[in-house]
Structure 1
Amino acid sequence: MDSLNPDHPPLTVSPAPPRVWKFWGTAVWGVVIFAAMFVGQIGAIVYLVWVGGDPVDLASMQHVGREPASLALSVTMGLPATLAAVWLAIRIKKASFVDYLALYWPSWKQLLLGAVGLILVVVAWETMSRSLGREATPGFMTDLLKSGRDKGGAVMLLFAFSVAAPMSEEVLARGFLYRGWSSSFLRVPGAILLSSLVWTVVHLQYDLYFLAEVFTIGVWFGYMRYRANSLWLTIVLHALNNLTAVVLTMWLGS
């Protein structure tokens, strides 16, 4: 029996390496996924313009896009487009969608740690904003949320900013980008920083001060994604952060 012969040890089968897009593959697919998100959002506005009977041009799209309900629908429609593009990228690699994105539920201890850290980061920035005499929320967001409340679009905005946007952004940043870049030469620290930078760029409607805050929160989300190996954790934290901001802004605006 060869298996008992020291001169002929039993064969061992090495596990197959995980099928993951590396640095450039992740970067290229990241652009494709972001483009899909953008197309989904713009497509919603184009549809509303067409249904309204207006000419489908830039002026009409800008006019419709300023309405809170239209903007909420636009943000929401970015989610299925994002998920479809991410699913395609992972499908090509013949990998598990759940495993690739680490769609595992975190423990209560991990959720508590993530929430406490997020609160500390937000409070630090809020304190700095007050000491500098700055608004805690960008003015255009305050106006949008007030308008949505007054026009009956509060629920749609709440869903868009507290559910759809966090899921879209986390699947892209802490899901797909982090997974690929952490398996490349960047490793975990580089993946956290670069994915946080990309997530910050998605929020270019803010000024540099708020962008710095977004980047800091992104780094914390990235660390928790690594520590807990759970994308659901960062989705929940992101959703709680946005939900708190939306509710408080609407309440303060009243």
Structure 2
Amino acid sequence: MDSVNPDHPPLRVTPATPHVWMFWGTALWGLLIFVAMFVGQIGAIVLLVAERGLPVNLASLQLVGREPQALALSVTMGLPATLAAVWLAIRIKQASFVDYLALHWPAWRQLLFGAVGLILLVLAWETMSRALGREATPGFMADLLKSGRDKGAAMVLLFAFSVAAPMSEEVLARGFLYRGWSASFLRVPGAILLSSLVWTVVHLQYDMYFLAEVFTIGLWFGYMRYRANSLWLTTVLHALNNLTAVVLTMWLGV
């Protein structure tokens, strides 16, 4: 037999490399993806500063970064940087980009269910905010959006916050992070919880009250990502949520 013949040793079957990054691989790549998003965003501001002949320092970055058009460009440029980093991470695993991120269009009933749940959740937070005498939108965001409207930057801000930001954040949180962590020891519940926490950390410019709202919305998005197995679903829900907030704040002053 070949198994005892020294001239014909038994074949060794090499285990296939998993096509999904597990817990630590997902965490480390997630950090790199976040850094790429940040570099893309800050890089846009640096280019604007250099283009104007200003010194590239913190003061100049802050000055230009406060402008509505510059901020819109910054948020938008975070998207290609994020997609490139995610593509590289998935490419190394020789996995399908579409399947890894669950880029499948959901059933309409799933979209409707997710939208109704999101509306109820937002209304609950809105009611609580009014009961506590709090503003429904963070003051600095309201000022930014109204300033952008008055300076002719309404459409670029609308695109940045309703298209680019939701896509970047969903690809990172409910796309890459959820995919790897749900396949690890965390399983689905832990992946939903931890990816929602990371998504909340991305919004540290808000106070604790708004961070709590972001976290609960993240949990709902995570559940819908699991239920429908579709990143497009959470991206559309995220975009609708941001679009509504931008329109209400920018044009209706709510």
Could you say whether these structures have the same fold, taking a TM-score greater than 0.5 normalized by the shorter chain as the test?
A: yes
User: 1:148-178: CA deviations, max 9, x gaps?
Assistant: 0000000000000000000000000000000
**1:18: Cα distance to partner?**
5.1
Separation (CA, whole Å) in 2 of partners of 1:70 and 1:253: 22
| Structure 1 residues not aligned, in runs of 5+ | 1-14
**1:34: Cα distance to partner?**
0.1
How many correspondences in the alignment?
Answer: 240
**1:253: Cα distance to partner?**
2.9
Separation (CA, whole Å) in 1 of partners of 2:18 and 2:89: 14
Other structure's SS at 2:104 match: coil
CA RMSD between the two structures: 1.2
Query: Which residue is 2:54 aligned to?
Result: 54
Structure 1 residue 43 and structure 2 residue 43: aligned?
Answer: yes
User: 1:56-91: CA deviations, max 9, x gaps?
Assistant: 111111100000000000000000000000000000
TM-score normalised by length of structure 2: 0.93
Contact 2:46/2:56, CA 8 A, preserved across alignment = yes
Separation (CA, whole Å) in 1 of partners of 2:155 and 2:224: 29
Task: Give aligned-pair identity as a percent.
Answer: 86
Query: Which residue is 1:98 aligned to?
Result: 98
Other structure's SS at 1:252 match: coil
Query: Which residue is 2:79 aligned to?
Result: 79
Separation (CA, whole Å) in 1 of partners of 2:146 and 2:253: 6
**1:17: Cα distance to partner?**
7.6
Query: Which residue is 2:246 aligned to?
Result: 246
The amino acid that maps onto 2:46 is V
The amino acid that maps onto 2:220 is W
- Show structure 1 runs of 4+ deviating over 6 A: none
Separation (CA, whole Å) in 2 of partners of 1:206 and 1:246: 16
Query: Which residue is 2:109 aligned to?
Result: 109
Query: Which residue is 2:138 aligned to?
Result: 138
Query: Which residue is 2:192 aligned to?
Result: 192
Separation (CA, whole Å) in 2 of partners of 1:210 and 1:252: 21
Query: Which residue is 2:208 aligned to?
Result: 208
Query: Which residue is 2:181 aligned to?
Result: 181
Separation (CA, whole Å) in 1 of partners of 2:157 and 2:209: 24
Structure 1 residue 219 and structure 2 residue 219: aligned?
Answer: yes
The amino acid that maps onto 2:144 is L
Separation (CA, whole Å) in 1 of partners of 2:163 and 2:179: 22
Query: Which residue is 1:30 aligned to?
Result: 30
Other structure's SS at 1:20 match: coil
Other structure's SS at 2:200 match: helix
User: 1:117-151: CA deviations, max 9, x gaps?
Assistant: 00010000000000000000000000000000000
User: 1:10-64: CA deviations, max 9, x gaps?
Assistant: xxxxx96851000000000000000000000000000000111111111111100
Separation (CA, whole Å) in 2 of partners of 1:97 and 1:16: 19
The amino acid that maps onto 2:114 is G
Separation (CA, whole Å) in 2 of partners of 1:98 and 1:18: 17
The amino acid that maps onto 2:136 is A
Separation (CA, whole Å) in 2 of partners of 1:239 and 1:99: 21
